[in-house]
Structure 1
Amino acid sequence: MSSQKLVELAKRRGYFLQASGAYGGVSGFYTFGPQGAALKGNVEDAWRDRFAVKEGNQEIDAPTIMPEPVFEASGHLDTFDDMLVECAECGATHRADHLIEDNTELEDAEAIPISEVEALIAEHDLACPACGAALAGESVEEFNLMFGTNIGPGDSAPGYLRPETAQGIFVEFPQLKEYARNQLPFGVTQIGKAYRNEISPRKSVIRTREFTQAELELFIDPEEDEPDLARVEDVEVTLYPVPQQQDDDGEPITTTIGAAVEDGTIASAWIGYYLGIAQRWYDRVGIDMDRFRFRQHLPGELAHYSVDCWDAESELDGDWVELTGFAYRSDYDLSKHGEYSDEDFTIFKQYDEPKTVERATVDPDMSYLGPEFGGAAGEIADALEALAERDRSAFEGDEVSVEIDGETYTIPVEKTGFAVEEVTEAGEHITPHVVEPSFGIDRVLYTILAHSYREDEVDGEERTYLELSPEVAPTFVGVFPLMDKEGLGELAEEVATDLREAGLSVAYDDSGAIGRRYRRQDEVGTPFCVTVDYEALEDGTVTVRERDSTEQVRVELDDLVETLTALRSGELSFGELA
């Protein structure tokens, strides 16, 4: 199945289309039509059920615009960049790593340093895709992907559209920990829009400038908290670890989550746990497990906050596309926000029994520091306190030195009030570590459509259909009167109303031949169709047709709602019904 066929079907049947088409369209922005919005909502509900409800996690909904200091603390202002190369002839800009990946056998070029990227462009004589001019010798620059804006009128504050939903969770941690009663571990989820000013959006909804993320941030005590790995240890997975990627003949390996964690292929038990949970979820929503794997990030790919990361990848048109990132973010995010803000991003960890410990303290003589150092006295006092906590040996001599903004200050130890005291502590403040599964919902949606696309022949005619899971299919059942006369239309309308009131998504169609109506519903992936014919008026039964096999059975009208509800929940299979 070509991507062109899928994109054409998606537009024709209301799954997705390029936004603002009346004005020529805008690259990197897509509108989800009636079918696409419903499919997207069902996928989000399935994700929420698995990663929020069943895991016992909280869910929040944070703003999509946040002030500049948030992203200064998170590191996005300095490190959230892609490699940009501009054509000197036509002025078109391109992602340099994409040019290399598209025109050479190299993969994951974003992990390569800029100097090597420039050399590869020259070595392979890469040309501008827009005009054909040579790009050798053109500089590759870093381009920050965040959309900037201003918050408020006049002398307004700079802000940015969030490039990930995660920061909306991290900045609210001081309050979220209160909701969790200061007990670790606890998880917070969020489903929402994120924005990245991509240099070269491509592959329809695979790489866009506005997209939906579903993220879970799990806050843990790294010394004590462990996942219940027994729940997923037998889940079979295909892994592509770093050594296999770096080996010229390396291939992905098939193993179980339990074995991969035990032998160290997956270093973090928490990452392993979520790979197992996600494997089952992807299978549940309709991803083809024969075209699915987990790939470990190479060292050069790791984000600035990530200690280890694995991507869930799916094969599409011969390429492997990232669907989800599973990252161990350590304490980077909370530590940074604690450093840059005035809030406390720690949790108090109570000991089982009080402990007596030695604590180094300082009580600087401000009557000396003030006259001696003027306005720097307060910062010197803070620096002395921090130094005493991390290196008490620095106070063993007659003098101690601290550095502030590149300037060194030397203070007599006797003026610092340095002392080592025994204190009894009930606990300590720790900065939790973070484990993060981050899902790209738009990419999941596209993959579900691509992996469910089928072509066959029915009654001598070619048929296209989407083999969508009943749980995520945008329309669950089509209802048709055989003809719109002699009471069939009225009865079919009543059937459709009853099914809608039972919570089922229904498409009513009385236009054209019954075979054409079946084909329309097959093409949008509707799992079942109900036909109200003359027998319905005589014996109170209707025809229920299954999409994949096209088989039909008669069902009592009085049992129809219960039967279809059981089919949707999986309590009943169509084979059992037949």
Structure 2
Amino acid sequence: MGADRTEGERLTELAKRRGYYFGSNESYGGTAGFYTYGPQGAALKSNVEEAWRDRFAVQEGNMEIDAPTVMPEPVFEASGHLDGFDDMLVECAECGESHRADHLIEDNSDLEDAETLSLEAAAEEIAALDLVCPNCGAALAGQSVESFNLMFETNIGPGSSTPGYLRPETAQGIFVEFPRIKEYARNRLPFGVTQVGRAYRNEISPRKSIVRTREFTQAELEQFVDPERDEPDLSSVEDVAVTLYPASEQEADDGEYVETTVGDAVAEGVVANAWVGYFLGVAQEWYERIGVDTDRFRFRQHLPGELAHYSSDCWDAESEVDGDWIEIAGFSYRSDYDLSKHAEYSEEDYTVFRQYDEPKTVERAVVDPDMSVLGPEFGGAAGDVKAALETLAERDPDAFDADEVTVEVAGESYAVATDVTNFSVEEQTISGEHVTPHVVEPSFGVDRTIYTLLAHAYEEDEVDGEERTYLSLSPEIAPRDVGVFPLVSNVDELVELADDVVADLRAAGLSVVYDDSGSIGRRYRRQDEVGTPFCITVDRDGLEGEGETTVTIRERDSGRQVRVPVSELAAELGAVRGGDRTFDDVAAEYDELTDA
């Protein structure tokens, strides 16, 4: 069934027809790179986000914040996004359509990492491959490849006096607020801060529906650690099996996957950073929990040319759909880049005080500049010159050996006689020191995770001689928990009991759809196609049988049915949804119908 369509085409058709997602603004011709989640998709997205919060915030004991999506320009000057957040653009000379050069190259060659090419090398590759414009077919050879910054620019307030940008990642909102957040953590490392929210990138050529869009949702964790003291406890994940694709294997002619465990990967240096290894293990188990097909899943290490400007090492979680590998999460060791940059640009304190076990006596270089000299000589800059001298004394005491010392303030050089600085070396007793934390970042693409879940859950089979399409979604993340059907809709007793069942299940916090239209088989098929795990049928046998009133629970994937007392229904379904029980547990306790 559907053999003539690709996996992505089947998924896109179902998503639009059944209300998972569809292109936005279609009444006005549509807007590339923007998607609206329908009733099913919005519910699935919410469930995925809650499952992520449960694992990466609640179970890890981390905090969560919700920062604005618009931030002022200096934030992105400090972060490096204004200078280094670019993609390769090539424009067709005939129709004017813009394309991502690295995507064109990858789509038409065996090269998998074209983004590592220089602009000149990408242009040469386009010419060598005789690539043409996908829009009009004109040759692209000879066209220059340019850098295109992906930031969406805006103005904050009237006029253009305060430029700002839509955030390209949620992370900067966490970093900027670090001076306040560290107080909530009582200045004790390690601690983590999570955020789930929208991010924006002005993609050159959005594609693959919700895989590459201009507005998307991220779920990110910034783990702040003391690089000299803090190590993760790997005991909970050391035996987790993972499929790794290290950079060394990617670069080898006969490179292969490394099938190993997290503990062995860290011990053998395949994953160099223990914190990164820890989160790979946590993520592996989480992806299995929500229903990613682990046979179509791997962790791939970034090649040196792929690494972001802030990252010293990075591994991507990738899923396979339609034969292509899609990045769905990244696990990056960002060192102290972000906090150091924001400290430099904002002049706020982005450090945490590290208490010594016992006080230490140390020699410290200090200055006490004579302001009666600096003031008349440097005017309004005197205070900044004094601060620069204090910083220089800490960083490079030997600079004060000469008769004169020079410091730089706001791009201007100031020479000060050394005797005016009152430089000296003093013994001080200190109880600790200020350290800039390092950051480990697991960053998840929520939309790409949803795309993966739907693609991996999509199944086609035959039931009772009829073709069936169903989504084998985990009960935890399925948009609807249960469908409730009176076997026939013209018997008041059945309808009344079905209404009571719906009310009880909703009161228990379950998402319920009521359907009395069409044959029972058609109603089953409708719920199967949107991934509803269970359907409840209210029939005469349940009303007229001996003992308690019962209904049947039908399991989506197998079609098996179990007769369960109405009084136990909400508790049983809630336990299965929460992962405390399985349908097999329920079937073993109650009467399973042999004719499913």
Q: Same fold (TM over 0.5)?
A: yes
Q: Which residue of 1 aligns with 2:359?
A: 354
Structure 2 counterpart of 1:70, which letter?
A: V
- Secondary structure at the counterpart of residue 237 of structure 1: strand
TM-score, normalization by structure 1: 0.97
Aligned partner of residue 31 in structure 2, secondary structure: coil
In the aligned structure 1, how far is the partner of 2:580 from the partner of 2:391?
62
CA drift of 1:378 comes to 4.1
- Structure 1 residue 225: Cα displacement: 0.7
User: What is the deviation of 1:382?
Assistant: 3.1
1:370, CA displacement in angstroms?
4.3
Secondary structure of 1:51's aligned partner: helix
Match of 1:446 in 2: 451
1:458-491 CA distances to partner (integer Å, 9 max, x unpaired)? 0011111011001001111110011112221221
Residue 539 of structure 2 is matched in structure 1 by 533
Provide the C-alpha distance between the structure 1 equivalents of 2:508 and 2:391, rounded to a whole number of angstroms: 63
The structure 2 residue matched to 1:504, chosen from 498, 503, 510, is 510
Which residue of 1 is the match for residue 136 of structure 2? Answer: 131
Give the alignment partner of residue 523 of structure 1, picking from 529, 537, 541.
Answer: 529
* Partner secondary structure for residue 542 of structure 2: helix
Instruction: Look up the match of 1:121.
Output: 126
- 1:38 maps to 43
Query: By how many angstroms is 1:285 displaced?
Result: 0.3
1:574/1:403 CA distance change after superposition, 3 Å: closer
CA shift in 2, pair 1:571/1:400, >3 Å: closer
1:15 aligns with 2:20: yes
Matching residue of 1:90: 95
Q: What is the one-letter code of the residue matched to 1:296?
A: Q
The aligned counterpart of 2:163 is 158
CA distance in 1, matches of 2:502, 2:411: 75
SS at match of 1:400: strand
Residue 253 of structure 2 aligns to a residue whose secondary structure is coil
Q: Which residue is equivalent to 1:211?
A: 216
Shift in Å, 1:64: 0.8
Query: Matched residue of 1:562: which SS?
Result: helix
Letter in 2 for 1:199: I
Q: TM-score, normalised by structure 2?
A: 0.95
Alpha-carbon offset, residue 405 of structure 1: 5.8
User: Are 1:557 and 2:554 counterparts?
Assistant: no
Residue identity matched to 1:509? D
- CA displacement at 1:416 relative to structure 2: 2.1
In 1, distance between residues paired with 2:385 and 2:464? 86
Could you tell me how far apart the structure 1 residues matched to 2:406 and 2:585 are?
80
Deviations 1:486-515 (A, max 9, x none): 221221111111111111111110000110
The aligned residue for residue 590 of structure 2 is none
Question: Once structures 1 and 2 are overlaid, which stretch shifts more, 532-541 or 496-505?
Answer: 532-541
Cα contact 2:130–2:140 (8 A) shared by 1: yes
* Cα separation, 2, equivalents of 1:567 and 1:181: 39
Question: What is the count of residue pairs matched by the alignment?
Answer: 578
Distance 1:358 1:138, change over 3 A: same
Structure 2 residue identity aligned to 1:122:
A
Question: How do 1:426-505 and structure 2 match up within 5 A?
Answer: 426-487=431-492, 488-505=494-511
> How many angstroms apart in 2 are the aligned matches of 1:465 and 1:156?
54
Partner of 2:147: 142
Q: Which residue of 2 aligns with 1:320?
A: 325
Q: Distance in 1 between matches of 2:101 and 2:93?
A: 14
**Whole-Å separation in 1 of the counterparts to 2:555 and 2:450:** 23
Q: Residue 418 of structure 1: CA displacement?
A: 1.2
Distance in 2, matches of 1:186 and 1:357, equals 30
Report deviation, 1:375: 5.4
1:109 aligns with 2:114: yes
1:571 is the counterpart of 2:589: no
Distance between the aligned counterparts of 1:552 and 1:405, measured in 2? Answer: 75
Question: Partners in 2 of 1:567 and 1:211 — Cα distance?
Answer: 31
AA paired with 1:78? Answer: D
Match of 1:251 among 247, 256, 271: 256
Note the C-alpha offset of 1:24: 1.1
CA distance in 1: counterparts of 2:51 and 2:11, whole angstroms: 23
Instruction: State yes or no: 1:233 paired with 2:242.
Output: no
Q: Which residue of 2 aligns with 1:176?
A: 181
Higher deviation after alignment, 107-116 or 10-19: 107-116
CA distance in 2, matches of 1:155, 1:253: 53
Q: Identity, % of aligned pairs? A: 71
**Mapped pair 1:395 → 2:400:** yes
Q: Secondary structure at the match of 1:558?
A: helix
Corresponding residue SS for 1:542: strand
Alignment partners' CA distance in 2, 1:416 and 1:276: 54
Which residue of the other structure, out of 520, 527, 549, is the alignment partner of 1:514? Answer: 520
Residue 570 of structure 1 deviates from its aligned partner by 2.9
Q: CA RMSD in A?
A: 1.5
Contact 2:85 2:149 in 1 (8 A): yes
Following superposition, the deviation at residue 353 of structure 1 comes to 1.1
Per the alignment, residue 339 of structure 1 pairs with 344
Q: Structure 2 stretches of 5 or more lacking a match? A: 1-5, 588-596
Distance in 1, matches of 2:105 and 2:64, equals 40
Deviations 1:335-383 (A, max 9, x none): 1111111421111111111111110112223344445555554444333
2:550 partner amino acid: T
Q: Say if 2:193 and 2:223, in contact at 8 Å, map to a contact too.
A: yes
Q: Distance in 2 between matches of 1:576 and 1:337?
A: 54
2:79 aligned with 1:70:
no
Choose 552-561 or 427-436, whichever is displaced more.
552-561
Please give the alpha-carbon distance, in whole angstroms, between the structure 2 residues aligned to 1:509 and 1:407.
75
Which residue number corresponds to residue 263 of structure 1? Answer: 268
Aligned to 2:592: none
CA shift in 2, pair 1:406/1:177, >3 Å: closer
When residues 182 and 299 of structure 1 are mapped into structure 2, their CA distance, relative to the original with a 3 A threshold, is: same
Counterparts of 2:498 and 2:81, CA distance in 1? 56
> SS state of the match for residue 43, structure 1?
helix
CA shift, 1:408, in A, is: 4.8
Residue type at the aligned position of 1:386 = T
Moved more, 360-369 or 63-72: 360-369
> How far apart, in 1, do the equivalents of 2:201 and 2:506 lie?
38
Alpha-carbon distance in 1 for matches of 2:145, 2:21: 34
Q: Measure how far apart 1:573 and its partner are.
A: 2.2
Q: Which moved more, 1:153-162 or 1:169-178?
A: 153-162
Could you tell me which residue of structure 2 aligns to residue 543 of structure 1?
Answer: 552
> 1:122-157 CA deviation, whole Å, 9 max, x = no partner?
111111111111111211111111111111123541
Query: Is the Cα contact below 8 Å between 2:7 and 2:321 reproduced in 1?
Result: no
Deviation of residue 166 (structure 1)? 0.6
Q: In the aligned structure 2, how far is the partner of 1:126 from the partner of 1:245?
A: 25
Q: SS where residue 61 of structure 1 aligns?
A: coil
